[in-house]
Amino acid sequence: MPAASSPRRGAASPDARRPGGDPWKVDLRELGRRAGSMRDWEKTVPAQERWGIEMIAVPEGAPVELHLRLESVMEGVLVSGEVDAPVTGQCARCLEPVEDTLHLDVQELFAYEGSTTEATSEEDEVRRIDGEHLDLAPLVRDAVVLALPLSPTCTPDCSGLCVDCGQRLDDLPADHSHEVLDPRWAGLADRFTPSKEN
């Protein structure tokens, strides 16, 4: 006889019960409204779109790892935990590709409809629960975008590009330089340059 916790053949998966099969939405009926109820939510889900700024971002479809705890409280559901998201972009100094993983701590209260928190807060001050579902995507997107550096670098001490030849300075020898001639003296320099025929 199979264990009671084993899913029945043909039974709908938890993801199938979400609106439109959205993996970012949590069905709160599994958590309940009794204060103190908790549920761990660990999943790897694809980013819905490109999350980021011009130089660096989480690419659309990139796997985002969620290690969260959902706790039912009087006013709503408290979501806390960690998020790991891969980011790609360009170094702001030398334009080389940059790849990294963001490790973020998140904590946010999602308010129940009709709760005191929902009634006394502006629309953009608190996240709200939509019926029986909680959408985690906006929370993670906002945390990612706020954590991204405005000027990402491939290494903390990247020297950038040579202003004369455009090559990456870290790939050039230490004595790399270019002779800079003042254009005001260019005519005289040509006159006094020894001829190759001599």
Q: How far is CA 34 from CA 10, 72, 114, in A?
A: 30, 6, 16
Please check the confidence at residue 6 and state whether its pLDDT lies above 70: no
| More confident position, 168 or 158 | 158
Residue 171 domain-assigned?
Answer: no
**One-character DSSP codes across 170-189:** GGS-TT-------GGGHHHH
Domain annotation covers residue 188: no
The reply to whether 126 falls in a domain is yes
Whether the predicted pLDDT of 195 surpasses 60:
no
Looking at the 3D structure of the chain, how many domains does it have? 1
Position 16 pLDDT exceeds 70: no
User: Residue 168 has what pLDDT?
Assistant: 78
Location of structure tokens 């980021």? 52
**Rounded distance, CA 132 to CA 18, Å?**
10
Q: What letter represents residue 144's amino acid? A: V
Q: What is the pTM (predicted TM-score) of this model?
A: 0.70
pLDDT in tens, 60-74: 999 999 999 999 888
Residue 116 pLDDT greater than 80, yes or no: no
Give domain status of residue 71, yes or no: yes
Residue 114 lies in a domain: yes
Q: Domain of 125?
A: 25-160
